[in-house]
Amino acid sequence: MSIKQLSIAAILLSQPLLANEKLISYLPTWREANVVAQFGPQLGKLNYGILSFIEVNANGEAFLSPTAKAGAELWQSHFAKARKTSNFNCMWAIGGWTGSKNIAKTAQTEAGRAKLVKSAIGIMRSSQCVGLDLDWEHPVTGGDYAADASAADLQNWVSLLRDLRQGLDAAGKADKQKYVLSIAVPANNGGWVMQGYDLKNALPVLDWVNLMAYDRSGGWSKTATLQASLHSVPNDPDGQILSSSKAVDYFIAQGAKPSQLMLGVPFYVRGLGNVEAGPNGDGLVQSMNGPGLKDEPEAGVASWADFQTKYAKATGWKAYRSAESGNSPYLYHAGKKELISYDDPASLAEKVKFVKQNKLGGIMIWELTQDDAQATLLNSLVKQLK
């Protein structure tokens, strides 16, 4: 190495290192044009935007519904500008909770998988995106399509991922382009739903894993716990399973590299109904039944933006934090017997700190358009990740 090279190296080493963590958000294709126009300019703050969702027809072919196609075009009008000012790229997600129909049936045969792989890559290429994210909810346990599920899904999920990897690599070689493959899976420390995921055999073919570290409580719950806590909620009977930090340990024990794991965060709130106040008067880990926030279009769910205008400072709601679970905020209304669980800039800061300390791959957001007009949550993540 020459003196000049040594000098350059010394200068580079003296500079602060840029954050290596990725920032990813799913991009809903069902949102209105004015909403996409509001959040499109924020795309340059992301590494990847994952268009959602590609579906699968009864013949095993990937397709876009008319809504998804039109919505993707709205987002794509902002991609060129984002790419000019940052390293932003787009991907497509396959499936989702309501869009996983026919995946289990298609994945049963080599011919079915080949058809799905070819057609999904075709959509990705035509959209000028650089990867696919398999969001099959859920192999073995079935999700919204339990009648299609079987024990064979465990192997078929891995086979589909291997075929996607092979197809993406072949397409990348032809296009002189690196195409990436990720998955979206629940961020649980084992438990019932994780029986469908053979992580040890899937992880070697994946670029990363989007950990869905949210929806741990809702109208279906019997105990009022926090929907996205970093650590276990004290006295939660399911706390050993419903914990992001314990889930990370679980995935690493299954063979994941820390850098493969993207910690998911919600830009929405969950409302829980008929929550008993309990001895502390805050409703946490008390019995419950059904959703709260019944006036919302989807009972029990509100965006961060709507939460700020409707509930955060409304009369009757008292604010609390669970320091033990990761500085997680929640509200309780004793009169309504409702609890609202969410993330805010303070709890997101704890999650970014955890990501950095454990050398994880970054943060995944569900999803960008649920932020407020000032992009409060997004900007807090961008600031903390620097």
pLDDT digits (tens, 9 = 90+) for 135-186: 999 999 999 999 999 999 999 999 999 999 999 999 999 999 999 999 999 9
- Please report, for residues 28, 79, 339, 360, the alpha-carbon distance to residue 98 in angstroms, rounded to integers and kept in the order given: 13, 26, 26, 29
Question: To the nearest whole percent, how much of the chain has pLDDT over 90?
Answer: 95
Phi first, then psi: give them for residue 229, nearest 5 degrees.
Answer: -70, 145
Out of 21, 73, 110, 137, pick the active-site residue: 137
- At residue 13, the pLDDT reads 35
pLDDT digits (tens, 9 = 90+) for 189-241: 999 999 999 999 999 999 999 999 999 999 999 999 999 999 999 999 999 99
pLDDT digits (tens, 9 = 90+) for 135-144: 999 999 999 9
Phi first, then psi: give them for residue 234, nearest 5 degrees.
Answer: -55, 135
Hey, which CATH number is domain 17-267+343-385, 3.20.20.80, 3.30.70.2190, 3.30.470.20, 3.10.180.10? 3.20.20.80
Query: Over 80: is that where the pLDDT of 14 sits?
Result: no
* pLDDT level of residue 19 (50, 70, 90 thresholds): low
Of residues 339 and 15, which shows the higher confidence score?
Answer: 339
The residues spanned by each domain of the chain are 17-267+343-385
| 149 alpha carbon, distance to own chain's centre | 23
Question: To the nearest whole percent, how much of the chain has pLDDT over 70?
Answer: 95
**Alpha helix positions (H), the chain:** 3-14, 33-39, 66-85, 103-106, 110-126, 153-175, 199-202, 244-253, 304-310, 345-357, 376-385
Which structure tokens are listed for 335?
């009169």
- At residue 7, the pLDDT reads 39
- At residue 20, the pLDDT reads 84
The yes-or-no answer on residue 137 being catalytic is yes
Query: Over 90: is that where the pLDDT of 17 sits?
Result: no
* Burial category of 4 from C-beta neighbours within 10 Å (exposed 0-12, middle 13-18, buried 19 and up): exposed
Taking every pair of Cα atoms in the chain, the longest distance, rounded to a whole number of angstroms, is 74
pLDDT digits (tens, 9 = 90+) for 281-317: 999 999 999 999 999 999 999 999 999 999 999 999 9
Residues 6+ apart with CB under 8 A from 223: 217, 236, 237, 238, 285, 286, 287, 288
| Residue range 48-67: mean pLDDT, rounded | 98
319: number of CA atoms within 13 Å, CB side? Answer: 12
- At residue 11, the pLDDT reads 33
Beta bridge partners of 131: 180
For the chain, the first-to-last Cα distance in angstroms comes to: 31
- At residue 283, the pLDDT reads 98
Give the global pTM.
0.94
* pLDDT level of residue 2 (50, 70, 90 thresholds): very low
Residue type, 79: F
